[in-house]
Amino acid sequence: MLGIRRETLYAYASRGLLRSYPSPGKGRGRMYLRDDILRLKARHDARSGHGPVAAAALRWGEPVLDSSITEMSVEGPRYRGMLATDLAIRGASFEQVAELLWSRSGTLPPTQPRWPTAAIPEAELAPLAAGTRRPLARLPLLLAAWQAHSSFGRMRRAASPPSPEATRRLARSLIAALPWIVAPERWPDAAARAPRMAERICLLLNRSPQPARVRLIDAALVLCADHELTVSSFAARVVASSGADLYAVLLAAASAFSGPLHGTASDAVEALIDDTRQPHRAKRIATAYANRGEAIPGFVHHLYPQGDPRGRVLLDLAMELAPNKRKLRIVHALVEAAEPLGQHPTVDVALVAAAQALGANKGTASTLFALARAAGLVAHALEQRESGVLIRPRARYTPSG
């Protein structure tokens, strides 16, 4: 597939570009993850000319635009030069990190920002919310209702986009109210009692906002606040480049969150834990995936062949909060079984562990991911508007049949 010598293959494996593990049965054969091979093939093809370069860029290939928001490194994402894992370990709040992402100064606010809270159009949303069991499914409903009620939504679509500062003001109030999706029936009490996102989410999960719980939620939000050009952030930039309002930008990203390969990836991890049932079954389950040449759900990330640093930090905090919970012990056993196979836990595994440590229902992990990523989406919208460039790629026509 790659058209390389065996020695080059071994060199790729030693550099962490390909993950390998022993073949089943006797002998010294090795197996390699298909996803890693396809990613390397895309890079190789990109060297053969302008067309392949452009095509490969849309599949984990070469960078397609300049951005000063997040730098990807082996240590994890750096927000305006500050390592996300360091921010989480230091106890930075989600609001502080959001303001960091939205500012070109690259400085973290020294004190806790106070965000206003947008009003929820309860009359329209109450019957719709009652019919949606998963919190993430309420996100597009909320954004669409807000857009319908906004003064900007009634303006002529040909009008100029709002200023960056106006966008930031709107973002603060909208994001502060997004946790409504977690539990609409508890929203009035949580909004009144908790000024911070992490505390509010804790109350909406029907948990008292104890410091350890708040710290875990803040860490989850901080670690997932941005991750460069993901599916949702690229969708947000495309829509922002057209001059659309912030409601439309967030609504486009919310649609991307519904996909199993992005926003709801943690759902597959929840299913894996259910299938494993007990910690002692973890090794058998992990080995079965390896024998089929498949990645264990939540245990492979293209950008972190040696392991996702965000996942490690969040896993440690979750285990620290609730070390004896059965499902957390299953997660720990899966991690121990997967790592000898060259597969390491991503932040999706850690989000599920955090939700379990909080005693939350299924779907909470993907909800935390979406709430966190809202901060980065706003940053990408601001940066794209500032560039003044309409994103409009070209397609190469290929006759069907």
Torsion 199-200-205-206 (CA) sign: positive
User: Do 147 and 77 reside in the same domain of the chain?
Assistant: yes
Looking at residue 270, its pLDDT comes to: 96
Report the distance separating Cα 227 and Cα 229, nearest Å. 7
User: Do 107 and 122 reside in the same domain of the chain?
Assistant: yes
Report the distance separating Cα 237 and Cα 224, nearest Å. 18
DSSP state of 292: T
User: Do 244 and 154 reside in the same domain of the chain?
Assistant: yes
User: Do 104 and 207 reside in the same domain of the chain?
Assistant: yes
Mean per-residue pLDDT for 357-383?
Answer: 96
Looking at residue 58, its pLDDT comes to: 56
Tell me the percentage of the chain whose pLDDT exceeds 90.
67
User: Do 80 and 214 reside in the same domain of the chain?
Assistant: yes
Q: Tell me, what CATH number does 119's domain have?
A: 1.10.580.10
Q: Does 337 fall in a domain?
A: yes
User: Do 44 and 165 reside in the same domain of the chain?
Assistant: no
Taking only the tens place, the pLDDT of each residue in 57-108 is: 555 556 678 899 999 999 999 999 999 999 999 999 999 999 999 998 889 9
Max distance between CA atoms of the chain, in angstroms, equals 70
Q: Does 378 fall in a domain?
A: yes
User: Do 225 and 178 reside in the same domain of the chain?
Assistant: yes
String of DSSP letters for 203-240: HHTT----HHHHHHHHHHHHHTS--SS-HHHHHHHHHH
Residue in this structure with the two tokens 């909800």, named with its chain if needed: 367
Let me know: does 376 contact 233? Beta carbons within 8 Å: yes
Q: What is the pTM of this model?
A: 0.85
User: Do 293 and 347 reside in the same domain of the chain?
Assistant: yes
Report the distance separating Cα 248 and Cα 170, nearest Å. 13
Q: Does 392 fall in a domain?
A: no
Q: Does 362 fall in a domain?
A: no
User: Do 85 and 153 reside in the same domain of the chain?
Assistant: yes
User: Do 193 and 283 reside in the same domain of the chain?
Assistant: no
Taking only the tens place, the pLDDT of each residue in 193-216 is: 999 999 999 999 999 999 999 999
Give the total number of structural domains in the chain: 3
Provide φ and ψ at 76, rounded to 5°.
110, 180
User: Do 82 and 151 reside in the same domain of the chain?
Assistant: yes
Cβ within 8 Å of residue 250, ≥6 positions away = 143, 174, 236, 374, 377, 378
Q: Does 1 fall in a domain?
A: no
Q: Has residue 255 got a pLDDT over 50?
A: yes
User: Do 172 and 95 reside in the same domain of the chain?
Assistant: yes
Closest CA relative to residue 242, chosen from 135, 125, 384, 40: 384
Q: Does 48 fall in a domain?
A: yes
Q: Does 191 fall in a domain?
A: yes
Provide φ and ψ at 11, rounded to 5°.
-65, -40
Closest CA relative to residue 98, chosen from 151, 149, 144, 167: 167
Report the distance separating Cα 217 and Cα 316, nearest Å. 13
Q: Does 221 fall in a domain?
A: yes
Residue in this structure with the two tokens 């989480």, named with its chain if needed: 88
Full domain range(s) for residue 50: 6-57
Q: Tell me, what CATH number does 329's domain have?
A: 1.10.230.10
Q: Looking at 25-29, 196-200, 251-255, 341-345, which range is the least confident one?
A: 25-29
Let me know: does 256 contact 249? Beta carbons within 8 Å: no
Let me know: does 218 contact 90? Beta carbons within 8 Å: no
Taking only the tens place, the pLDDT of each residue in 136-187 is: 999 999 999 999 887 554 544 445 677 899 999 999 999 999 999 999 999 9
Residue 22, helix vs strand vs coil: strand
